[in-house]
A and B are shown apart, each in its own frame.
Chain A
């Protein structure tokens, strides 16, 4: 079965919000940050990152500004807005609850009905 395992809705948004909550990052930097912390276990499709960024900006959860990257190139940096901070909190809580519940079901032995 090569069907990819899909995530709970909003997980990518949550990860992006989390990544930029630590410090402002440009798009590629967000990708690297998530990979690095998760020890390369999470890989985000490059194509799906930018639409998510634009959507989050449109909703007012992140804001962007042009700045200079480490290697002296112009880059668009994203940072968390106060609204985004609140959003991140509620999303995180919701995700934890869901993950706990599902993990609980998966851990159950077949005989426990």
Chain B
């Protein structure tokens, strides 16, 4: 078969219809004339010859019709005709059109909205060219329970120097900058990056330039690249900002470039970038297991993720010396790659995929609904169709025409759906929990438009083919007979609609049950005791500029004074500080040694999460002291080095022993004595394994605390904690005032009640639950509309029957029961099928469920009951109508 010639003849049929028709007519007529001439030549009178020729040729129209059919013209033409017919119908029956278009728009809109998110997060992250080539280099220690942590500088160097696989590579470390040029101090969310950073993402500045290798050197690093947002906010989008020098952390920085509005990595709210300018000593072997950088790289064109990943295994085994090899093997250390989008949005992947499934259901329900509406409408047209079929219109052509009619519905639905999706995305961003995708935009780009168009076409094929197939399946005889009497008509069609509605109810139940299970799981997680009391605790971040606070004494004094002032503020019960606090998304851990307990060969040795805190840290958070003592003001520089450990660490390394008085250290000459044991607290997540994509994954890992004042260089920044008796909000101004009274130029950032931070850690689950609830509601609404339509139609069809029943003595109550039973039967079938499908499908969700089974009985029963209630409600209105049928009128109704 020659495909091209077919396409040619189809396009010809569509685009040059009149010409093709003219030519066909000319060709056939010339044939008749030629034949007549031959006949005349044989001696027949001219007129008689023409007449004979015509008769022998047969019906010109019939031959033309067969020719059109032979060329495959009909299908295309039918479609075209249907499209025009459909647009006419839109004007003629606005009610039907409105319902169908709105239904489709809801389905398409929901899918477009969710796809926009998938697109913006995973497929085409903003400002990144060829995002599939961008990877993140990570490290892991399987034996120590660290599965996904940043990398060290020497690890980065290995990737940077493998140019066969990586086109470019860069290191990054977050840094806050105090900008003191304006009216009040501002904290800029900054990012210190090595010079190839922008190349890795394939991002170009819209103004000026980015860093040169020479600028990425210690003491040469006084250039800054601004984000579009910062340029707009702080420099009024002034192009003359380039070349200006600004004060950051009290140091002059020259603005050399401005990035485009869509580039904001590593965080959605990065304000500026400065050169990382690592000194060469950082690359030394001693730093091998010292991980604190984000490393990104772009794969060479043509190199796949799998190839590069395989090469990472080779790089991992390239040990600098025997000691490194020993520890690496004992702890099962290696470096590996992650797709960039997975690293940044990994937590959102499962919820988003579940939502994608949910909206697919919504669209399916919408299609089933529209198919039902079309079937009902087809009942009114069956006579017309039967007559046309009897006159020889081919089945293919009828299908084509029906599809064409539906395509016009589809086009309107897609347009309305696009509109709805944009409204929906705005609502969604509004409802989105803080920190999940701050600063993200979901552009309506070519990919989204393409997806929407595809969804529209699929939807038209799905809802359009059902009635098309149904009507073409009946022979003309069947349909002509059927249209004779309406009361017995369309049994098959009505049955089919009933199946569609039962299917809709089943899909709706799946979504309802899923929502129920997620909500239940959320409630269970929210009930988890984090191990401390977040109530009334306000937290805020700050960082001390190095130039101003250049000695440990100055740093310690800052913290002591601020915390003293805070504690003196009325309403503040307690105050403390630490380098890290729970639920900010970061964690830190380190290996240590226990005095008198040498590490056996082949073992990675003791390891624990490590935090630097002030004495007030424990009391402000209400972390319970289980044994010994907490830090006191007497634990200072020069006094005996002490540590407080948590009960997890105690159990892990001193089982059935008293750790108090034991000494731990990290290879140096100094040992810290364990003086107290406190309770373990949840640090990154409330439930399950502690965090995935951030610093460490340490579920029940032990913790050791060291006192900030005893550890020089650890009091350079971190978080202030204030426990207030009058609610967290009242502590906000207290913190600001205390800091301002000590250093008026020091900005405070990330001010947030502890309870808000904990709630935000449930972001992905809450996000999924909320949206699933919305989509489940939408699905149930659509299914209810479908059921209502079906029952209404059936009641109208059975008016006659009800009239007879009532004339024979049935009471209105009996009729009501009859109708409600019809609806209830469908609801029961739908609910039953939904439970089975739900249990199968919800397995996919189990990673989001906490102490709730994917076959949670309460969720399923609750969903089924809710579904039944809604179904009965949908049937009640038409049932009431049936009840009020006047027997006399009904019998006349035809």
Interface residue ranges, A against B (CB under 8 Å): 26-28, 45-47, 50-55, 57-61, 66, 69, 71, 73-76, 81, 83
- A54 close to B34 (CB less than 8 A): no
Give complex CA distance A27, B68 in Å: 16
Report yes or no: A58 in contact with B9, Cβ–Cβ below 8 A: yes
Min CB–CB distance B890 → chain A (angstroms) = 53
Contact B63 A28 (CB under 8 A): no
CB-based nearest B residue for A70: B34
Docked-complex contact A54 and B70, CB < 8 angstroms = yes
Judge whether B302 is part of the interface by a CB distance below 8 angstroms.
Answer: no
Check if A50 sits within 8 Å of B1, measured CB to CB. no
Contacts of A28 in B (CB 8 A): 30-31, 34-35
Let me know if A54 and B30 touch, CB within 8 A.
no
B23 to chain A, nearest CB (A): 7
Contacting pair A83 B2 (CB below 8 A):
yes
Q: List 14 A-B contacts (CB under 8 A).
A: A27-B27, A28-B30, A28-B31, A47-B63, A50-B31, A50-B66, A54-B70, A57-B5, A58-B70, A58-B71, A60-B4, A71-B37, A75-B27, A76-B30
Contact B71 A60 (CB under 8 A): no
| B306 on interface, CB distance cutoff 8 Å | no
- Give the contact stretch, choosing among B54-62, B330-338, B762-770: B54-62
How far is it, in angstroms, between the C-alpha of A71 and the C-alpha of B40 when the chains are bound? 15
Nearest-Cβ distance from residue A57 to partner chain B, whole angstroms? 7
Question: Taking CB as reference atom, which chain A residue is nearest B62?
Answer: A47
Cβ–Cβ contact B34 & A59, under 8 A = no
Contact B69 A51 (CB under 8 A): yes
- Contact residues in A for B5 (Cβ distance below 8 Å): 57-60
Decide: A57 and B6 in contact? CB cutoff 8 A: no
User: CB within 8 A of B1: which of A46, A59, A71?
Assistant: A59
- Chain A residues contacting B68 (CB-CB under 8 Å) are 54
Q: Is B28 an interface residue (CB 8 A)?
A: yes
Q: Chain B's interface: helix, strand, loop or mixed, by majority?
A: helix
Given known contacts A55-B71, A60-B6, A75 and B63 CB-to-CB distance under 8 angstroms: no
Within 8 A of A (CB), among B33-75: 33-35, 37, 56-59, 62-63, 66-72
Residue B26 interfacial (CB < 8 Å): yes
> Residues of B with Cβ closer than 8 Å to A?
1-2, 4-6, 9, 23-24, 26-28, 30-31, 33-35, 37, 56-59, 62-63, 66-72
Q: Are B26 and A47 in contact (CB under 8 A)?
A: no
A55 to B58, CA, bound (A): 19
Nearest CB in chain B: distance from A102 CB, A: 28
Bound complex: CA of A30 vs CA of B62, how far in Å? 21
Given A58-B72, A74-B30, verify A47-B2 contact (CB < 8 Å).
Answer: no
| Complex CA distance for A54 and B13, rounded to whole angstroms | 12
Q: Which residues of A sit under 8 angstroms from B69, Cβ to Cβ?
A: 51
CB pair A27 B31 closer than 8 Å? yes
Interface contact A60-B2, CB-CB below 8 Å: yes
What B residues does A53 contact at CB under 8 A? Answer: 67
Is there contact, CB below 8 Å, between B56 and A46? yes
Query: CA of A58 to CA of B7 in the docked complex: distance in angstroms?
Result: 9
Contacts of A71 in B (CB 8 A): 37
Given contacts A27-B27, A75-B30, contact A54 B71 (CB under 8 A): yes
A89 CB → nearest B CB, Å: 16
- Docked CA distance A105–B68 (Å): 40
Which of A54, A61, A69, A75 is most buried by chain B, counting CB atoms within 10 A of its CB?
A54
* 9 more A-B residue pairs beyond the given contacts A46-B58, A47-B66, A74-B30, with a C-beta to C-beta distance below 8 A: A51-B67, A54-B24, A57-B71, A59-B6, A60-B4, A61-B2, A75-B30, A76-B26, A76-B27
Residues of A with C-beta under 8 A to B23: 66, 76
Q: Which residues of B contact A81 (CB under 8 A)?
A: 2
- Interface pair A51/B58, CB less than 8 Å apart: no
Docked pose: A58 CA to B13 CA in angstroms: 11
- Among A50, A55, A74, A76, chain B packs the most CB atoms within 10 A around the CB of A50
- Nearest chain A CB to B773 CB, angstrom units: 54
Pair B1/A60 contact, Cβ less than 8 Å:
yes
Q: A58-B6, A83-B2 are in contact. Are A52 and B70 (CB under 8 A)?
A: yes
* B36 CB to nearest A CB, Å: 11
- Most chain B beta-carbon neighbours within 10 Å: one of A46, A55, A57, A58: A58
Given contacts A46-B56, A58-B9, A76-B27, is CB(A51)–CB(B70) below 8 Å?
yes
Separation of A73 and B33 alpha carbons in the complex (Å): 10
Residues of A within 8 A of B35 (CB): 28, 46
- Give the chain A neighbours of B6 by CB distance below 8 A: 58-60
CB of A47 within 8 A of CB of B58, answer yes
The residue on A at minimum CB distance from B34 is A28
**In the assembled complex, which residues on chain B have CB atoms less than 8 Å from the CB atom of A45?**
58
Give every chain A residue within 8 A of B2 (Cβ-Cβ): 59-61, 81, 83
Nearest Cβ distance between residue A77 and chain B, in whole angstroms? 10
Contacts of A47 in B (CB 8 A): 57-59, 62-63, 66
B71 touches A46 (CB 8 A): no
In the bound complex, residues from chain B placing their C-beta under 8 Å from that of A52 are 70
Which residues in A have their C-beta under 8 angstroms from that of B58? 45-47
A53 nearest CB across to chain B (Å): 8
Query: Shortest 7 CB-CB distances between A and B: which pairs?
Result: A60-B2, A60-B5, A55-B70, A51-B66, A54-B70, A47-B58, A54-B67
Q: Which residue of B has the minimal Cβ distance to A55?
A: B70
A50 with B28: in contact, given A28-B34, A59-B1, A59-B2 (CB under 8 Å)?
A: yes
A-side contacts of B56, CB under 8 Å: 46
Give the distance to chain A from B66, nearest Cβ to Cβ, in Å. Answer: 4
A52 CA to B28 CA, complexed, in Å: 13
Measured CA separation A50–B63 after assembly (Å): 7
Residues of chain B lying within 8 A (CB to CB) of residue A69:
30, 34
Distance, CA A28 to CA B1, complexed state (A)? 26
CA gap between A93 and B22 in the complex, in Å: 38
A73 touches B62 (CB 8 A): no
Task: Name the residue of chain A whose CB is nearest to the CB of B60.
Answer: A47
Q: Given A47-B62, A50-B66, A51-B63, does the pair A57, B9 have CB atoms closer than 8 Å?
A: yes
Central interface residue in A59, A61, A71, A75, by most chain B CB within 10 Å: A59
B4: chain A residues within 8 A (beta carbon):
60
Q: Which residues of A contact B71 (CB under 8 A)?
A: 54-55, 57-58
How far does the Cβ of B178 sit from chain A's closest Cβ, in whole Å?
A: 75
Residue with the highest number of chain A CB atoms closer than 10 Å, among B4, B6, B23, B63: B63
Residues of A within 8 A of B66 (CB): 47, 50-51
| Residues of A close to B24: CB separation below 8 A | 54
A75 nearest in chain B by CB position: B30
The smallest C-beta distance from A36 to any residue of chain B, in angstroms, reads: 12
How far apart are the CA atoms of A57 and B71 in the complex, in Å?
8
B497, chain A: closest CB distance, angstroms: 38
Contacts A58-B6, A59-B1 given; does A73 touch B30 at CB 8 Å: yes
